[in-house]
A and B are shown apart, each in its own frame.
Chain A
Amino acid sequence: MRPHLLALLAKEPAHGYELKQALEQTFGSAYPSPNIGQIYVTLGRLEKDGLVRAVDVEQSNRPNKKVYYLTAKGRDSLVAWVEEPTEGPRVRDEFFMKLVLAPLTGIADRMALISRQRRHYLSLMADLNDLLSRTDPRDRVAGLLIEGAMLHLQADLDWLERCQEDLA
């Protein structure tokens, strides 16, 4: 979550609760709702590393709030995060391990494993379909994430078919 908070603070200084709201607004229903405690812990670490600094702002009738802003070092760290290449999805697929190892065990045959897995993927896809139809079409961030998940799942199914052709 560190670079996400840095990015939000690059736009404007904010206190912890504002950052939680900003994450929720930006990612809509797609983002696991951030825990406020986790945000404060992360901010504390960023502050210790010199990437953000906090100022106390007085509030009437309430305790002071800490407003965080980005330091020059924090901006450098954010730029580095944006510019470094992002890893592609890794194919370290648990099912593939089962598929390759299963015949050695004598517990299940590959054809049965592949068939079961195909139905499981389709049931996941049915979930995503439901989800997409229930997602507000104006929530483009959530819509695109769901579509991304669907495309990955389609690729998994195509790969399953290749495994079936070559291994089963």
Chain B
Amino acid sequence: MSAAVLKAVNLVKIYSGGALPVPAVRGVDLEVEEGEFVAIMGPSGSGKSTLVHMLGGLDTRTSGEIWLDGKRVDTLSESAWALLRREKVGFVFQFFNLVANMTVADNVELPALLAGISPKEARERRESLLAALNLGDRADAAPAQLSGGEQQRVALARALANKPSVLLADEPTGNLDSRNTRDVLRLLGEVHKQGQTIVMVTHDARVASLADRLVSLFDGQIVDDGRIARRRTGTAREVIDLR
């Protein structure tokens, strides 16, 4: 058995609804180790979103294998996969899909409770996540009372509430301004440091630069997969060249 938290073997997705079948993902092999932060980049239409949706069980694969925590999941029934997902996967999208008639606090606690975490622990986790995202005072609000940026941060807190084996994210800062992005960056950096495994599709270079590793997709295939070097230069003077 491999130490990978998440593994895809020759994963293929062909959309066959239209007149011609459209291959979106064409044979992807990917292994994500525990605690790793992998950013996925590539032009639109390169298959990034389809790939993470398949990895999270939100879209079916055409062929290939998906393994989560050493267990093959692509052959599970839909309901068995859904159960496993509650426990092991956190998902955050560009569009946040919060439950409208529940408070922010309940939205965040729900996945933790569904995953079998005790109510006390779920509440503590919710409080610390919302505080980290500067949303501590919005716990009793309804999602509709929040700005887009606030809703997006709530969605991130929700995705982390069940302490997932892997956090999957698809453009999680897609509609955040720079101040909101900073809060999200800080939390992602923190949970990553605490060992959270993250796989994230993003165009935002600031978010992607937090990752350990970059996977580049093009035309449904991985064209590059490597580490993002850390150089740690000293001061602004060395980075910024004022003439």
Contacts and interface: CB of A to CB of B under 8 A. Distances in A.
A94 to B, nearest CB: 15
Contacts of B240: 30, 145-146, 149
A118 B22 CA distance: 27
Interface residues on A, range: 35 or more
B214 interface: yes
B62 to A, nearest CB: 25
Given A127-B233, A150-B206, 9 more contacts: A30-B242, A32-B237, A116-B224, A123-B229, A128-B209, A129-B185, A131-B233, A147-B178, A154-B206
Nearest to A148: B240
Interface residues of B, number: 34
Contacts of B178: 147
Interface stretch (A9-17, A53-61, A72-80, A160-168): A160-168
Contacts of A121: 205
A161 B228 contact: no
Interface in A60-96: none
Interface string B117-147: 0000000000000000000000000000000
B64 interface: no
Interface of A: 27-33, 111-112, 115-116, 118-123, 125-131, 135, 142, 145-147, 149-150, 153-154, 157-158, 161, 164-165, 168
Contacts of B218: 111, 164, 168
B237 A126 contact: no
Of the candidates B211, B226, B229, the one having the most CB atoms from chain A within 10 angstroms of its own CB is B229
Interface of B: 39, 41-43, 178, 185, 203-206, 208-211, 214, 216, 218, 223-224, 226-233, 235-237, 239-242
Nearest to B234: A131
Contact of B235 (A29, A112, A154, A158): A29
